[in-house]
Amino acid sequence: MSKTRVKLFAIASLALASLSCSALQDIQQAMTNLAQLKFKLAGVSDFQLAGVKLAGRSSLNLTDGASLLAAFQRGALPASFTVQVAAINPNAASSGSRSPSATIAGLNWTLLIDNISTINGDLQAPVTIPAGGEQVLIPLRMNLDLVQFFRDKGYDHIVKLALALGGASGSPTRLTLRAKPTVTTQFGQITYPSDIDIVDKEFR
């Protein structure tokens, strides 16, 4: 091998080593940014049970009670509501070309009510979470038949559960969203290696 070829090989090797080191640092930074994303259940809104609106209510009147009881006796109490998922990206905002903002491409989730696994779904469209800790709400629409999952607990239990979730004092305390986020990075989409439990008590 000529001296010229040896020099070129040496220069190419050094350049490749430098590029690999830079790429590894970029990957490490991307994974660090990814790990900083946090989620929390922020609320439940627009709750309806068999067409009866429960928002702001602590009890049922006779007409609505009779309607829901008849639906239960027919074997179905369809519930529809929106779960608000709060997401934050505490990575420091940057004016550089490589913004640490995060785009959530997917959020494959399963809804647990009182620790009972019910329905599952995913995002309808990507959501970008800007850096700097700004909270972004991700609305997830839920549609499920409560009788299917809580028939053995009876009508009264189901109605009380629905009021607890979507009534006057409603909160997501009895809900858990077991999710596996997929985030878009400069290296492509990265999916979390395992599920995370999103609850209302704390950001996770």
Residue-wise pLDDT for 123-179, tens only, equals 999 999 998 888 999 999 999 999 999 999 999 999 999 999 999 988 999 999 999
Residue 13, pLDDT above cutoff 60: no
Q: How many CA atoms lie within 13 A of 194 on its CB side?
A: 2
Q: What is the mean pLDDT of residues 39-48?
A: 97
pLDDT category, 25, cuts 50, 70, 90?
low
Residue 21, pLDDT above cutoff 70: no
Mode of pairing for the β-strands spanning 38-49 and 127-129 = unpaired
Residue 95, pLDDT above cutoff 70: no
- What was the pLDDT predicted at 204? 87
Quote the CA–CA distance of 68 and 146 in Å, as a whole number: 12
| Two structure tokens written together for 71 | 């639906």
Residue 18, pLDDT above cutoff 80: no
Residue 31, pLDDT above cutoff 80: no
Q: Provide the percentage of residues in the chain whose pLDDT is more than 70.
A: 79
Mode of pairing for the β-strands spanning 127-129 and 196-198 = unpaired
Quote the CA–CA distance of 65 and 159 in Å, as a whole number: 9
Q: Scanning the structure block, which residue is given the tokens 């989620």? A: 39
